[in-house]
Structure 1
């Protein structure tokens, strides 16, 4: 595509509009720094469209250091505000004039569907506004000819996750963190007093937050706009809360979306729900309205690395866009950046509201996408109290086994497996102590109430061990399978679990008891398993690592310091790379991208130049086995030696805190979804009398499984990671957004064009 001016002449503006969302600052930082690396001149339009209308110092040229230390801040440092003036043509004319005064005809706008719609109208009106300004003598003919069109790229900032066509919007993951944290905290005090809580969350026209919070937080009942309760919901809710208490629940949690409706379109408030509970059950529930706390505070790890990726891609896109083509939004599908036609996406999003208003709730739910529909079904199963504890005569028996290192979310997976299995008429068993526990016969039935509360517990109630069973232990394991009448195994764990099952399958001829269906579910913080782009536990570990890096940066704020930190992962660099992007590291070392002394020497020189230029902190992150010789102690010695007292150097391993704590909302949802699909497949195999051993995972947003016999075809077993790792494509981002003095030109991240925006 032919450009009218060189990259060095290009000027772009960035603004945030509408409600703020955690992660906006990460996108702003990424856009500005990538633009600078590409040789363009970035400007921040302060206070959204109000800044464009006001002009003057509200349109500020941005330098590298202007966006330092904002990655972990909530809100938006460049401000957002409602702008009635921009709704009028005179206001838009002023905005056009002010932008032209700074040579800006390219805009990246971060906001919701209203903000993006207004931006697109401004783009369409731009030639007319330029002509009027020229006729009025407010701009010269040369300016008008140089800027005939406005180029825009949209990024969606909305905690509601309501834009059709993108998997996640900026801020939604952080908001879900706030809600689930609140549910966890409320649950503990509710259980202490056997109380009932009604929690109101945001979600005027989109039920993403309430639904996902209900699944992740183990709520008893949820009200969403897309799936309103039918006539008689009052009795249905009262009955389910009563049955839940009878089944062993000490607390009751009901989640209400702020936009909840009944089937007739009448608004349901949290007070309405509380009144029904008091009338039907004779208890006084506590109401908690989370309000704006959901959109405040530090962004999650996801709401740092994903907006960073989007901002990086947006800077490339805006500088190479064709002004004649319709405007696009950049969103994410399957952890990749995708173009979404702005007009289509906004129309599809607003159509959901129209469907709800028309009471076509099935269509509204379908418009949210397959994942949303499936999670509604899963939530119904998980929250439905058991009517009876009697297992049907001759029911199949599925045993749950944990194996490998501990991964946050193992408990969530086990809880989901028990409740989904019981709902399917299967007897669920728990194996204590991994495969060794199986060999020793440590197998017990698990009931609905046994797993109550496991959803948000860290650790693994069934226990897990790293040891891969030896061949000489197979006989005892086979006898235990027969003695306990185990018809199938659900193995939840990491690479050691995968190796164990692979060995069992190879020995089936010698040990006939192993000829049963086996399903492997990926659970490891290393995120190094075949067949799944993300493993249960990796998101929690990433958030823990980023939390630790934030503390490290705070500790170094008052000094001139380089800090070298090791992340877990062995020879898989997922945690190191993503924590480095989300934590604002200047340099990352990965085993997948080996370095030699020459590059380390160059890094030391760059580090020295950075401190000479005024830097106070230089953060280096490496995965723990990035190199056998050039470990973190070696790097620390080299960097300190080359500094000659200009700065000091500290180093530390982030350690096992990465495995600890309650699982993140994402890990709870991933565990639930994977186990649901795994049990569907296991029961289908049992019904047809099969003995398939398969490993399940999520890739390209769909869950699929593969035969264990072919597992090693995907694995680089020597390095304990898959041959193909999607996240490695993000490595170039670091030099673009963190290394001011590095000469590398930012690589282009591939952007896909989806066939449709109506499904995701």
Structure 2
């Protein structure tokens, strides 16, 4: 293999730049050429592709987002769109692809390989941490720390004004951010889409705390479990408590990646290049038992990552 391509696709995640840097420098160290694809699969179709050098990735390991930029491509979801992208594989003589993104990116990579036999290795990068097979996805640790930092600041105000705060975090289909941030932030209740909840039970818990002298509370809600605004209105209606709602939104996605996300991106980016050099294809890389590993891409797409019920129960116990 002499030339590989690298792209970031789907939602951005802090640590993507660390992965790009590792792919480029690991490949060049071993004598390979690297082509950077801008704007994900959309850029692939539009031939927004150019060579990357060692200096192309200088001073990016600490930056959030992705220097290659990213976009969602409806056209790449069609066979004709993927055929256009393959024309650019041939035009730029790309012999293997490293694709950094989430489950939608993984599905695009799988179809691209099956239809055109292009070797692909996928790196999980999504703040939701919902990719099956890997214990960690790039961006998750930073998103959790961003959420915890916000919860810490909100708790100061909640304490000062004796208020209840609802904090809505990202997670349409998965509650990993809510669970981790809620446990680390000492939330009184955590609502996630994987498990049912009762507004009445949450209110009962708040009232018990109030009767024993508790003057403030923080509840963390994953966006896929409930609307923080609507949930806050319901809590206020039932309890009468002064209730405020903070929707963190894309704040969780931005900023400097944590050391863990930088190291994770670096290790997985290097492993992806090694696998392509070995002639391997249609693989995902990630963390298993605390170490970088790889497995067939289908395992990520056919499975479902389960929430840690032990951690969820522990959060409930500690918030009594």
**SS, match of residue 171 in structure 2:** coil
Q: Which residue of 2 aligns with 1:21?
A: 13
Q: Which residue of 1 aligns with 2:81?
A: 91
* 1:310 and 2:278 matched: no
Q: Which residue of 2 aligns with 1:108?
A: 98
* 1:249 and 2:214 matched: yes
The count of aligned residue pairs is 320
Q: Which residue of 2 aligns with 1:380?
A: 316
**SS, match of residue 165 in structure 2:** strand
* 1:34 and 2:2 matched: no
**Larger relative contact order, structure 1 or 2 (CA cutoff 8 Å, min sep 6):** 2
Asked if the contact 1:29/1:308 (under 8 Å) is kept, the reply is yes
Cα separation, 1, equivalents of 2:280 and 2:143:
35
**SS, match of residue 345 in structure 1:** helix
Cα separation, 2, equivalents of 1:235 and 1:52:
51
Cα separation, 2, equivalents of 1:340 and 1:239:
46
Q: Which residue of 2 aligns with 1:275?
A: 233
Cα separation, 2, equivalents of 1:377 and 1:64:
47
Cα separation, 2, equivalents of 1:27 and 1:274:
39
Cα separation, 2, equivalents of 1:207 and 1:108:
28
**SS, match of residue 225 in structure 1:** coil
Give unpaired runs (5+ residues) of structure 2.
none
* 1:181 and 2:149 matched: yes
* 1:152 and 2:120 matched: yes
**SS, match of residue 104 in structure 1:** coil
Cα separation, 2, equivalents of 1:33 and 1:52:
21
Could you tell me how far 1:102 is from its partner in structure 2? Answer: 1.2
Cα separation, 2, equivalents of 1:159 and 1:214:
15
User: Could you list the per-position Cα deviations for residues 320-367 of structure 1 after superposition, in whole angstroms to 9, with x for gaps in the alignment?
Assistant: 1245xxx11001023211112211211113xxxxxxxxxxxxxxxxx5
Q: Which residue of 2 aligns with 1:66?
A: 56
Q: Please tell me the root mean square deviation across aligned C-alpha atoms, in Å.
A: 1.3
Asked if the contact 2:188/2:316 (under 8 Å) is kept, the reply is no
For residue 345 of structure 1, the aligned residue among 274, 280, 300 is: 300
**Larger-Rg structure:** 1
* 1:217 and 2:160 matched: no
TM-score of the pair, normalised by structure 1: 0.41
Cα separation, 1, equivalents of 2:20 and 2:230:
41
**SS, match of residue 211 in structure 1:** helix
For residue 44 of structure 1, the aligned residue among 16, 28, 36 is: 36
User: Could you list the per-position Cα deviations for residues 73-110 of structure 1 after superposition, in whole angstroms to 9, with x for gaps in the alignment?
Assistant: 10000011111221222221221111211110200000
Asked if the contact 1:23/1:170 (under 8 Å) is kept, the reply is yes
Cα separation, 2, equivalents of 1:177 and 1:245:
29
**SS, match of residue 376 in structure 1:** helix
Could you tell me how far 1:27 is from its partner in structure 2? Answer: 0.2
Cα separation, 1, equivalents of 2:196 and 2:199:
12
Could you tell me how far 1:248 is from its partner in structure 2? Answer: 4.3
**Aligned ranges 1:165-564 → 2 under 5 Å:** 165-229=133-197, 233-260=198-225, 268-322=226-280, 327-349=282-304, 368=306, 372-384=308-320
Runs of 4+ with >6 A deviation: none
**SS, match of residue 199 in structure 1:** strand
User: Could you list the per-position Cα deviations for residues 592-648 of structure 1 after superposition, in whole angstroms to 9, with x for gaps in the alignment?
Assistant: xxxxxxxxxxxxxxxxxxxxxxxxxxxxxxxxxxxxxxxxxxxxxxxxxxxxxxxxx
**SS, match of residue 231 in structure 2:** helix
Asked if the contact 1:274/1:284 (under 8 Å) is kept, the reply is no
Asked if the contact 1:277/1:284 (under 8 Å) is kept, the reply is no
TM-score of the pair, normalised by structure 2: 0.97
Cα separation, 2, equivalents of 1:211 and 1:347:
24
